[in-house]
Amino acid sequence: MTQGRLTSCIPLPVEHKLLVTVIEKAKDWALMHGVGMRDRKHFTKDAIQIAPFVLLPSPFPQTEFNKAVELQPILNELMHKVAHDDEFLTRTLQNALQVDEFTASLFDIWVKVRDEGMAQPISLGMLRSDIMLESRCPHTENQCAKHTPYCSWKQVEINSIASGFGHLGPVSREIQSYILRQLGQGDLIKNMPENRALSGLCSGIIEAYDLFGVPSAIILFVVEEISYNICDQRFHEFEISEKRPEIMIYRRTLTEIYEETTLNDKKQLILDGHTVAVVYYRSGYEPAQYPSTREWDARLRVERSTAIKCPSIHYQLAGTKKVQQALAAPGVLEKFMGAGAATGRVRDIFTGLYSLDFDENGERAVDMALADTERFVLKPQREGGGNNLYGSDVREALLRMRHSRERAAYILMERILPPLVSGYVVRPGASVPPPLTDLVSELGIFGVIIGTKDKIYCNRQAGHMLRTKLADANEGGVAAGLGALDSPFLLEM
């Protein structure tokens, strides 16, 4: 089957001299507006370099974009319910826990805190549902009524921890608007949807802060030792400080939290003499960020406290790939959402997701994958990019794990084949102009939800982001250096 192709927003290629001039201007715009990242090779806190970005916005069908935006509150609520269903989380993660130490440690903290009695019933969920257009058509060729270069969109994953791009999403729209104007194409900007991700996400943090309701309490950002993706973090702080100048924000690593915080007799988390109202994780989603027991002790202390966590530990468990796979199994969505139309709409966005548990279904999935490895992605219980297996690596891993319990820590997912679009990717240190290349995009829709098991205080969609990568690259993490910032150019199709 051939991969569809979407038409770029202006005719390409752009004439050489004009292209070089516009890229020079765009790079300066980027540096002066925080389209940046710290340099990994020559790290210094005194400079940022441009983050990779796509020169022109990538086409995306308007109807599918609207559908994704409208669906987000439904997905938020689903995740909220899953996070609060102890029995479901326990049953779903059971096999993975036997073989995946990281998830098992998270799970242990959750059980411990639950048994002691949760000091804070409110959770702050800042979610990002990542989706790709699917150019494969399930109907046999030529029978699809739509005749578009895509058939639908499918969910890649839903992130419940450290979902980045609150700033980089909206600023991608701004830089590409600037570029379009420099190319004399300013009238096209109207096709780029407004994006208020930064203010939407920060309002979520502020609403949680106000629900906490302790005067002069602080907000704590949990960060990694070195933050390369610094613009994506600091702009949240700038935004909150502009909206609410009286709120102090602290940044601490898990080790520093271990060393500098205490729990008082009311289970309040105390840092620097202040009560912590909200803990927002920008790190802490992968084993490397918990290298020693001190980091785990810090996480446990935070979970035990009255602080409102984003995410709380049950939200992080609800965001695991194993849970995503379990939600796609027959009857599971119905259990959480009933049998109404919304359930059908959510089911539609799932592509094939299969358990590799040590049972009959798992065996069948292994056979199916071995028969056609190109059709699948093999995913371990990890976040943050670069962990998934594709193509011949799927075969090798499955043959190796076939008779080992290890495979229960993976899920098998149908590979989505998004339509191609031609474009230019501007990268730091690369020659100008870059070559015209085939690209594919992944749209992320943000959602904010605040609530307890029984009461939801707020639930809304909050902006979007688009990441684009070379069509032949498997993964597209921008911070990992593979993907590039982009924004959607909406088309009636």
Please identify which residue in the block is written with the tokens 């730091």. 428
Q: How far is the CB of 171 from ligand ADP (least distance, A)?
A: 20
Our finding on whether 481 is near ligand ADP (CB under 6 A) is no
Site for ligand ADP in 414-433 (CB under 6 A): 415-416
CA distances 1 to 20, 94, 141, Å, are 37, 38, 8
Binding-site residue total for ligand ADP (CB under 6 A)?
Answer: 16
User: Whole-angstrom Cα distance, residue 68 to residue 77?
Assistant: 15
Our finding on whether 442 is near ligand ADP (CB under 6 A) is yes
Our finding on whether 134 is near ligand ADP (CB under 6 A) is no
* Among 182, 387, 422, 452, interactor with ligand ADP by CB under 6 A: 387
Our finding on whether 385 is near ligand ADP (CB under 6 A) is yes
* Among 323, 328, 377, 490, interactor with ligand ADP by CB under 6 A: 377
Our finding on whether 319 is near ligand ADP (CB under 6 A) is no
Residue 28 corresponds to which tokens in the numbers above? 């300066």
Q: Which amino acid is at 97?
A: L
- One symbol per residue from 153 to 192: x for binding ligand ADP (CB under 6 A), - otherwise; what is it? ---xx-----------------------------------
Residue whose C-beta lies closest to ligand ADP: 416
Stretch that binds ligand ADP, among 82-90, 118-126, 342-350, 382-390 (CB under 6 A): 382-390
CA distances 17 to 20, 56, 435, Å, are 5, 17, 14
Residue 172: φ, ψ to 5°: -65, -35
DSSP string, 121-158: --EEEEEEEEEEEE---SSPTT--SS-SS--EEEEEEE
How many of the other CB atoms lie within 10 Å of CB of 11?
Answer: 7
With respect to ligand ADP, which residue has the nearer C-beta, 209 or 376?
376
Locate the DSSP E strands across 333-393: 353-355, 376-380, 389-390
Assess contact for 13 and 435: CB atoms under 8 A.
no
* Among 31, 98, 108, 384, interactor with ligand ADP by CB under 6 A: 384
Our finding on whether 353 is near ligand ADP (CB under 6 A) is no
Our finding on whether 222 is near ligand ADP (CB under 6 A) is no
Sequence-separated (6 or more) residues with CB below 8 Å from residue 16 = 433
* Among 465, 476, 485, 486, interactor with ligand ADP by CB under 6 A: 476
User: Whole-angstrom Cα distance, residue 405 to residue 362?
Assistant: 11
Sequence-separated (6 or more) residues with CB below 8 Å from residue 334 = 343
Stretch that binds ligand ADP, among 63-71, 92-100, 215-223, 409-417 (CB under 6 A): 409-417
- One symbol per residue from 103 to 132: x for binding ligand ADP (CB under 6 A), - otherwise; what is it? ---------------------------x--
Q: Which residues bind ligand ADP (CB under 6 A)?
A: 130, 156-157, 377, 379, 383-385, 387-388, 413, 415-416, 442, 475-476
